[in-house]
Structure 1
Amino acid sequence: MQKKLPIGIASFEKIRSEPYYYVDKTPFVAKLVEEGTYYFLSRPRRFGKSLFVDTLKQAFLGRKELFQGLYLEKNWDWSVKYPVIHIDFGGRTLKGEEHLITYILEQLEKNQETLGVSCSEKTLYDICFEELILKSYEKYKQKVVVLIDEYDKPIFDCIEDRETVKRIRDILVKFYIILKPLDRYLKFVLLTGVLKFYMSSIFSGLNFLNDITLSREYSTICGFTQKELEEVFREELEDKDLELIRCWYNGYSWLGEPVYNPFDVLLYLEKRTFHPYWFETGTPSFLVKLLMEKRFYLPELEDLTATDDLIGSFDLDYIEPENLLFQVGYLTIKETIEEEGLILYKLSYPNKEVKISLNRVLFSYFTQLSSERPRLSLKMIEAVRERDFEKMKRVLESLYAGIPHDWFRKNELSRYEGYYASCFYAFLCGSGFEVIPEDITNKGQIDLTVLYRDRAYLFEFKVVEGEGGEGKALVQLKEKGYHKKYEGKSKEIYLIGIEFSSRERNIKDFSWEKVS
């Protein structure tokens, strides 16, 4: 019987009971249990966290028949079965404190039914949780396993409402803190989520958890490695371009081997078309608003430097774009630098899917030209392909002329010097071009480089207050000799100087020259 692709299935039992493809992550189950008791794992949405949690659940329940042929079959004590409390916050959007408390009580009641125990407390969720653990321990004469999936989703659901978020946080702190004094009754505890909150909030009471998010040993606990992809899906990949698949969907790194987003891979193999499947499952509106509020220079997304404390925890009272971008999966670790005890991380887009899709969204928010973007992108692609610089100029003039005037009045973005370059950068990335912002040479820094086939286009930007239009941007490009970096690498090299008038909010001068 031909195997099926387990798209969107988080049930380990279903995958193993039917002929689905399965990447064996059970060595991590054995490793976690052997090495500790309390864990926390953060990964972006739809990265296989829920399936891994369910795999743990079935192992602790002693379902040996589900693990035939897998690593755990011969590396687990199947003679012991444990009571498992499984709470999943990912199944419903929770808005407000009352809704959250009701949902927690529903989850606790569901676990009571599954475990065959009854708690006397029906309304106080924290006391009910404690009672459930103690009664399960008493009934089964075994320590209890607690698995909490998407622990942070109630906060994420209302993250734009700061006051509601704080009240939601307090409820969750009160709920999770129950675990700390019950050590003698607990066999294993795992919390998963997208965000790790700063120690002053939720994690102040969960500091006993071992955070394996940035552990090299567990870096591939979710997602597919290159080897896993090629071995498990060999038949599906026979006629596929592996390098192009890698470019589109691989690249996520948590200090170890880079991995593929499994959601993307499975949908690509089913539909046979490259598409931003994962990106479209989320709406980054809060993130985009934050980037605009901080006047973030978008080309910096290609190469950010962050400290371990910045990417390690999420502070609700002081949200930094770099932190949020990393934890939700729009940026990943590309390089680690250790210098005299200081650890720095180089962050960038994980892959082509995220780079193109995020910049399309950013361009639409920064310009209010979402409906015009496809047409302008096609015109720009034609202009670059045809070496038609007049058409390129007209595209850019149309781009900036199309931004509504009331957009500037509301946001004062035209006074932000990086705004014009940010719009242009997001536009080019969203159009699929290979873009290198702040391109370093031995003579200085090119504002932006576009590589297309065997050609290199080097851009210099200047924002002018007065009349401008003197071609100074192009002159600077020529004088600096930036083009020498691409001599011998590109058959054709073009220098393009662009001057923006902040008063007229459009291009004042567009000059170009071929140097090779």
Structure 2
Amino acid sequence: MVSLNLPIGIQSFTEIRTRNYRYVDKTHFLSALVNSGKYYFLSRPRRFGKSLFIDTLYCAFSGRKELFHNLYLVTSQSGWDFSKTYPVLRVDFSAGIVDSPEELVKRLDRLLTQWETEYSTKGTQGSPGERLLELIPQIAEKTCTQVVILIDEYDKPILDNINNPVLAAQLQDILKGFYAAIKPLDQYLRFVFLTGVSKFAKTGIFSGLNNLLDITIDTRYSAICGYTEEDLSRVFGDMFTSESIDDIKSWYNGYSWTGESVYNPFDILLYLDRGIFRPYWFETGTPSFLIKLWKTNPRVPAEYERMVTGEESLGSFDPEHIRMETLLFQSGYLTIKEWSADPVQGLVCVLGFPNIEVRTALNTLFSEVLCGINTSPNRSRLYGLLESADISGLRELFHSFFASIPYDWYRKNQISKFEGYYASIFYTYFASLGYDLIAEDITSQGRIDLTVRTKKAVWIFEFKVLSSDGRDTKKPMEQILKKDYSRKYMANNLPIFLIGIIFDPETRNITGWEIKRRDGACPEELSV
């Protein structure tokens, strides 16, 4: 259930239903969860509707049948009995920042005291976990029914302090003790649902609550948050033009957790409100910590286009041994593009950027980290040069750009020494413009280093780095022609520009640049 009307950050199911907002009905997922299990965990990126789903659960278990008019949950197929209500205990860490162990304990104690007052139980003593163990049976006895526990953004206190490993570990221990108290209370509990961005390693925060069913990577629940193609057409179809729908899909769709892909709801609502393409979701939380982590252990950005990984990299998060791909996936900057599962390998996923928004915005940050300077003016100029096929201007732009990177930046940063540094600058520039590009583009004869496709032309790049003795023994253009890389794109009937580039690590600039052109109507390569 997600509202169309602003404010975009609305999290109240009640407000959506009483104010006649447009809505997407997700209550069939709620029914499926409650009818088939009891303990669940769901990880989704920020601003994907996790809090709203929690609020929908709250209203359903509270017996607010009037709010579910014309929704799946009131149909006979759902099996939901609104005549039976439950006491619902809701823990919400989405608001505010916890910056000390004392503050976290106080926050939990205030919540426990509030529940004691609400249900007129005896006062409890001890740690938050000990108090919860004592309180839940009292509430069940007072209400003569089982209790529902809903925990929203369970991991936020830790993630807010991930740059301080000592503090993060202290907060993790407190939360671990609190969550562990839930398992012994099974007889008193009807339903438990936790949401968050990350899933911590089994030896960490969930070790005491190991009966949770993780539905994060579950084909059946891939669309539990976000808008599907059918949702967009049915609920918002009258607000789109036929010309804009393909661009909207390219910009904001593509998130998948082994099932049906979804649109980012935050992006769609802001696009409908403002009518222009912008990285709305990305701008709400620049991943400064991710970029800092990437700088300490850089990886060629193009590798994120098709990264093969197993479930162990996706389903666990260890603050002491952070995997970059795990963080990027769990926070929404990478998603599952393809997957397979068999008895030998288990689940194997191919990760990639979900859409243009994430690819352009994240690679803009990567390009500035790679160069140590603001790259915005060069990106704007690059776009114009590609659109006009200005060959001489293109070479001049990149030559001047490499020359503008301060020597002091190279001296203070190790990032320029990682393999693929120079090619990565090209890649991040093109990726930040939103073009269709393929790194390690496979042909029948080999792999093209980088292919960039615009509406007017195809650009094929091959990169080489000068050998340590300074001899120019590598011939990128010779490789392009010998392996006939352009043939793959001849049927497009667009100009094809073949560009071979050689970098000199001593001068930190381009030392060789050769361009040829080949068109579908002209099979011979023409030097330009």
Q: CA deviation at 1:319?
A: 1.4
Residues 5 and 21 in structure 1, CA contact (< 8 A), matched pair in contact too: no
Structure 1 residues without counterparts, runs of 5 or longer:
none
**Any idea what SS the aligned residue of 1:477 has?**
helix
Deviation track 1:21-58 (CA, whole Å, cap 9, x = no partner) reads 11111111111110011000010000000000000000
Correspondence 1:259 to 2:254: no
Cα distance in 2 for partners of 1:396, 1:436 equals 20
Deviation track 1:156-209 (CA, whole Å, cap 9, x = no partner) reads 101122222111111110110000100000000000001011111112112100
Alignment correspondent of 1:499 = 502
Alignment correspondent of 1:8 = 9
Q: CA deviation at 1:134?
A: 2.0
Residues 499 and 507 in structure 1, CA contact (< 8 A), matched pair in contact too: yes
Cα distance in 1 for partners of 2:243, 2:55 equals 31
Q: CA deviation at 1:6?
A: 5.9
Tell me which moved more, 438-447 or 117-126. 117-126
Q: CA deviation at 1:234?
A: 2.7
Deviation track 1:417-458 (CA, whole Å, cap 9, x = no partner) reads 311111221111112222111111111111101111142111
Residues 90 and 150 in structure 1, CA contact (< 8 A), matched pair in contact too: yes
Change (3 A) 1:407 1:233: same
Residues 470 and 509 in structure 1, CA contact (< 8 A), matched pair in contact too: no
Alignment correspondent of 2:348 = 344
Correspondence 1:154 to 2:157: yes
Tell me which moved more, 245-254 or 411-420. 411-420
Deviation track 1:215-243 (CA, whole Å, cap 9, x = no partner) reads 11111111111101111113322576111
Alignment correspondent of 2:28 = 27
Cα distance in 1 for partners of 2:178, 2:14 equals 29
Residues 471 and 510 in structure 1, CA contact (< 8 A), matched pair in contact too: no
Mapping of 1:2-81 within 5 angstroms? 4-5=5-6, 7-74=8-75, 75=78, 76-81=80-85
Alignment correspondent of 1:376 = 378
Question: For 2:419, which of 417, 420, 428 is the aligned residue?
Answer: 417
Residues 498 and 511 in structure 1, CA contact (< 8 A), matched pair in contact too: yes
Residues 438 and 448 in structure 1, CA contact (< 8 A), matched pair in contact too: yes
Q: Which amino acid aligns with 1:187?
A: R
Mapping of 1:272-351 within 5 angstroms? 272-342=275-345, 343-351=347-355
Deviation track 1:242-280 (CA, whole Å, cap 9, x = no partner) reads 111111111100111100111111111111111111111
Change (3 A) 1:503 1:7: same
Superposed CA RMSD = 1.8
Alignment correspondent of 2:90 = 86
Residues 468 and 509 in structure 1, CA contact (< 8 A), matched pair in contact too: no
**Any idea what SS the aligned residue of 2:237 has?**
coil
Q: CA deviation at 1:468?
A: 5.3
Structure 2 residues without counterparts, runs of 5 or longer:
520-528
Change (3 A) 1:367 1:112: farther
Normalising by structure 1, we get a TM-score of 0.95
Residues 119 and 128 in structure 1, CA contact (< 8 A), matched pair in contact too: no
Q: Which amino acid aligns with 1:299?
A: A
Cα distance in 2 for partners of 1:11, 1:483 equals 54
Question: For 2:406, which of 383, 404, 424 is the aligned residue?
Answer: 404
Residues 466 and 501 in structure 1, CA contact (< 8 A), matched pair in contact too: no
Q: CA deviation at 1:125?
A: 1.6
Question: For 2:451, which of 449, 452, 474 is the aligned residue?
Answer: 449
Correspondence 1:109 to 2:113: yes
**Any idea what SS the aligned residue of 1:174 has?**
helix
**Any idea what SS the aligned residue of 2:130 has?**
helix
Q: What is the percentage of aligned positions where both structures have the same residue?
A: 44
Residues 116 and 123 in structure 2, CA contact (< 8 A), matched pair in contact too: no
Q: CA deviation at 1:290?
A: 2.0
**Any idea what SS the aligned residue of 1:354 has?**
helix
Correspondence 1:215 to 2:218: yes
Cα distance in 2 for partners of 1:179, 1:341 equals 35
Q: Which amino acid aligns with 2:408?
A: D
Query: How many corresponding residue pairs?
Result: 512
Normalising by structure 2, we get a TM-score of 0.93
Q: CA deviation at 1:123?
A: 6.2
Deviation track 1:459-486 (CA, whole Å, cap 9, x = no partner) reads 1111124545677222222222211211
Deviation track 1:280-324 (CA, whole Å, cap 9, x = no partner) reads 111211211222222201110111001111112112222111111
Cα distance in 1 for partners of 2:393, 2:195 equals 50
Residues 144 and 188 in structure 1, CA contact (< 8 A), matched pair in contact too: yes
Change (3 A) 1:486 1:163: same
Q: CA deviation at 1:509?
A: 1.5
Q: Which amino acid aligns with 2:414?
A: E
Tell me which moved more, 430-439 or 402-411. 402-411
Change (3 A) 1:212 1:401: same
Correspondence 1:183 to 2:196: no
**Any idea what SS the aligned residue of 1:31 has?**
helix
Deviation track 1:333-356 (CA, whole Å, cap 9, x = no partner) reads 111123553121011111111111
Cα distance in 2 for partners of 1:290, 1:312 equals 19
Q: Which amino acid aligns with 1:26?
A: T
Cα distance in 2 for partners of 1:475, 1:333 equals 36
Cα distance in 2 for partners of 1:196, 1:267 equals 29
Tell me which moved more, 403-412 or 34-43. 403-412
Residues 300 and 419 in structure 2, CA contact (< 8 A), matched pair in contact too: no
**Any idea what SS the aligned residue of 2:336 has?**
strand
**Any idea what SS the aligned residue of 1:51 has?**
helix
Residues 252 and 267 in structure 2, CA contact (< 8 A), matched pair in contact too: yes
Correspondence 1:436 to 2:438: yes
Change (3 A) 1:105 1:365: farther
Q: CA deviation at 1:122?
A: 5.8
Change (3 A) 1:386 1:238: closer
Cα distance in 1 for partners of 2:431, 2:29 equals 37
Change (3 A) 1:490 1:471: farther
**Any idea what SS the aligned residue of 2:370 has?**
helix
**Any idea what SS the aligned residue of 1:171 has?**
helix
Residues 13 and 59 in structure 2, CA contact (< 8 A), matched pair in contact too: yes
Cα distance in 1 for partners of 2:4, 2:219 equals 32
Tell me which moved more, 6-15 or 437-446. 6-15
Q: Which amino acid aligns with 1:43?
A: R
Residues 54 and 152 in structure 2, CA contact (< 8 A), matched pair in contact too: yes
Change (3 A) 1:111 1:352: farther
Q: Which amino acid aligns with 2:407?
A: H
Deviation track 1:59-114 (CA, whole Å, cap 9, x = no partner) reads 0000111111111123321111100000001111122212222222233334444x
Question: For 1:357, which of 354, 361, 366 is the aligned residue?
Answer: 361
Correspondence 1:169 to 2:172: yes
Alignment correspondent of 1:201 = 204
**Any idea what SS the aligned residue of 1:446 has?**
strand
Residues 276 and 357 in structure 1, CA contact (< 8 A), matched pair in contact too: yes
